[in-house]
Amino acid sequence: MAKDSDQNQTPTGSLNVERALSWVRDFLVLLVVPALLWIMKLEVSNAERDLRILQLQGDLSRIESIADRVQKIEVQLARTEGKLDTTNQLLTDVKNAVVKSR
């Protein structure tokens, strides 16, 4: 019967190892869970940043397109102003010719 009582009792060294392993596991859980949460937050932040970069690149493309159109319009406006100046000069010459012919 002495054998039965020896089998039910565990050595104290084994209990200490189990407690140590349990403590290590708990400690690791306390470290890993916040680390995983931080990594997920970081990934979300990176995804949001990448999305914002894409949006800004699209905005930049539209701005460049508008700048090109503005430049073309400026060239057309300069041509129109030149033609208008020429027309005004011709009109002035015609007016002077009419006044002289009277």
Is 3 inside a domain boundary? no
3-state secondary structure 36-81: HHHHHHHHHHHHHHHHHHHHHHHHHHHHHHHHHHHHHHHHHHHHHH
Is 84 inside a domain boundary? yes
In the structure, what pLDDT confidence band is assigned to residue 42 with cuts at 50, 70 and 90?
A: very high
In the structure, what pLDDT confidence band is assigned to residue 9 with cuts at 50, 70 and 90?
A: low
Is 1 inside a domain boundary? no
Checking if the pLDDT of 38 tops 90, the result is: yes
- Residue 91: domain span: 13-101
Is 58 inside a domain boundary? yes
- The count of structural domains within the chain is 1
Is 7 inside a domain boundary? no
User: Does the predicted model carry a pTM greater than 0.75?
Assistant: no
For residue 25, count other CB atoms closer than 10 A to its CB: 10
pLDDT at 10: 55
Nearest to 86 by CA among 78, 97, 98, 74: 78
| pLDDT digit string, tens, across residues 47-84 | 999 999 999 999 999 999 999 999 999 999 999 999 99
Is 78 inside a domain boundary? yes
